[in-house]
Structure 1
Amino acid sequence: MITGIGIDLVECDRFLDWSAFKKQRVFTKKELEYADNDNANAEKHLANCWAAREACLKALGLGFGEDIAFSDVSVIHDDAGHPELLLAGGAKAALKEMAGSNAHIQVSITDQGEYSAAVVVIEKQD
């Protein structure tokens, strides 16, 4: 059963002027390494991560703030390069409360031109 759906759209150029310090504060080491592996498209990769994180929080009915840290939602990639979401802290607790301990999160990320978008679907598994 679907318990949450979230979508987000972000301009890739948003991250061009961010300092290394700000990027390190917001993105995980793995996210930054993944972006740095394709330096020509680094901002696009960061925008993809940001859109996926925001879509996840929207699916959970949350936002970054007191109970949710930037590091509570991160984007990782499997061996084939497919994105997956890794939840920790407040986001993980909210997921368990919403959909139980067998919850399944699906994420789809796309980018075109100057925009990145992501959709997240949270399913409660029986």
Structure 2
Amino acid sequence: MIKGIGIDIVEIDRITDGIENKILSEKELKILKKFQGRKRKKEFIAGRFSIKESLIKACGIFIPFKKISILNNENGKPYIDKETLRYIEEIFGEIKIHISISHENNYAVSMVIIEEVER
């Protein structure tokens, strides 16, 4: 059963210097340092900001941005870090979270679906 759905869009040009320290977790900040070029860094920050907003909307409660870590698997697919998932499962019980992030022109868009685990 679907427990929550969230969607968000962020204008990449609205990402300002220093905002990454308010939005990104320590794990995400380490990833950000690997990127070359201001444009790519802003895309990454906007994508993470968007997905965190989507997650909060899907959960229906505020979760501090720094407590949410979104990582990527070896194929580049984003996923919610295990620590973040455990934190959310303390509220909802056992769940599965589906996420997607996309960048196009000057926008980052994301979607989150929270699904109850059937037993």
User: Which TM-score bucket, shorter chain as reference?
Assistant: 0.7 to 0.9
| Structure 1 residue 31: Cα displacement | 1.6
Q: 2: CA distance between counterparts of 1:38 and 1:23?
A: 13
Identity percentage of aligned residues: 28
Asked if 1:97 corresponds to 2:61, the answer is no
Q: Aligned to 2:71, what secondary structure does the other structure show?
A: strand
Listed as ranges, the matches of 1:51-62 within 5 Å are: 51-62=50-61
Asked if 1:32 corresponds to 2:29, the answer is yes
| Structure 1 residue 92: Cα displacement | 2.2
| Structure 1 residue 60: Cα displacement | 0.2
Misfit runs of 4+, over 6 Å: none
- Structure 1, unaligned runs of 5 or more: none
The answer to whether the 8 Å contact 1:27/1:71 transfers is yes
1:62-114 Cα distance to aligned partner (Å, 9 max, x none): 23xxxx3222212111122110123539x824x4433x22x100001101011
Asked if 1:123 corresponds to 2:115, the answer is yes
- Structure 2, unaligned runs of 5 or more: none
Asked if 1:69 corresponds to 2:67, the answer is no
**More displaced 10-residue stretch of structure 1: 71-80 or 115-124:** 71-80
1:19-53 Cα distance to aligned partner (Å, 9 max, x none): 2xx42243123222323323221100110011111
